[in-house]
């Protein structure tokens, strides 16, 4: 993997093709957990962990199980099972290490299982780094890099949103816009700002 490829993946996943603000995937936890920076950081770290390990295991499953056995049509089912398994693992770890964070995240932690951003990055890895059922040179490393920085991009979006929403709690927002309406307005403005990164060229 050369430096230019690595940089294009990093910048692409964090800014240009940010799953939340450019592809509009994973909006449920994005809006639900972005009320406080601490909760957003906890969710972001959990998503990074799940995305990275799911990217690794789905690549291995696709390369060594689905392609050799000609079961590529089961890709989505297998990927969802892998993601669900890792979410359960993350839930158990957070419950053991930080019960307070576990209670604060509430229903949004199990929602990582159905977070289409996690499934999206695993499918993107396969579509990008496989051709005609064969993995491209260095595709495992590139898949891991793409999965990790997709999680970083997701976390960045969560932290930016939670910082803005914490500040909005201290301002006089009109009653008709308070809560979710102003959150949607802020998210749309953030999305417009991130679309400005589409002009990046390497």
Q: Does 198 reside within a domain?
A: no
**Where is average pLDDT lowest: 75-84, 107-116, 156-165?**
107-116
Q: Does 39 reside within a domain?
A: yes
**Residue pair 25/101 in contact by the 8 Å Cβ criterion:** no
**Residue pair 91/110 in contact by the 8 Å Cβ criterion:** yes
Q: Does 10 reside within a domain?
A: no
**Residue pair 147/121 in contact by the 8 Å Cβ criterion:** yes
Q: Does 44 reside within a domain?
A: yes
pLDDT of residue 201: 61
CA-wise closest residue to 42 among 100, 114, 128: 100
Average pLDDT, the chain: 89
- Which range, 31-35, 45-49, 65-69, 195-199, has the best average confidence (pLDDT)? 65-69
Could you report the per-residue pLDDT of 72-108, keeping only the tens digit for each?
A: 999 999 999 988 888 888 888 888 988 887 887 777 7
* Section 150-166 average pLDDT: 95
**Residue pair 29/96 in contact by the 8 Å Cβ criterion:** no
Q: Does 11 reside within a domain?
A: no
Which domain does 91 fall in, by range? 20-190
> How many domains does the chain divide into?
1
Residue 202 pLDDT greater than 60, yes or no: no
Q: Does 71 reside within a domain?
A: yes
Radius of gyration, alpha carbons of the chain: 18
């Amino acid at each position: 993997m050369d430096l230019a490829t690595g940089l294009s993946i990093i910048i692409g996943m964090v800014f240009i093709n940010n799953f939340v603000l450019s592809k509009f995937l994973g909006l449920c936890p994005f809006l639900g957990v972005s009320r406080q920076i601490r909760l957003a950081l906890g969710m972001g770290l959990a998503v990074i962990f799940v995305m990275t390990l799911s990217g690794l295991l789905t690549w291995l499953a696709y390369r060594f199980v689905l392609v050799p056995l000609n079961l590529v049509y089961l890709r989505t089912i297998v990927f969802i099972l892998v993601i669900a398994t890792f979410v359960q693992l993350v839930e158990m770890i957070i419950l053991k290490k930080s019960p307070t964070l576990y209670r604060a995240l509430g229903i949004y932690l199990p929602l990582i299982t159905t977070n289409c951003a996690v499934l999206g990055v695993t499918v993107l890895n396969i579509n990008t780094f496989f051709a005609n059922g064969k993995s491209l040179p260095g595709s495992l490393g590139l898949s891991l890099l793409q999965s990790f920085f997709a999680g970083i991009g997701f976390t960045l979006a969560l932290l930016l949103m939670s910082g803005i929403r914490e500040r909005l709690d201290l301002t006089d927002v009109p009653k008709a816009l308070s809560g979710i309406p102003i959150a949607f307005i802020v998210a749309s403005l953030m999305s417009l700002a991130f679309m400005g990164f589409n002009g990046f060229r390497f």
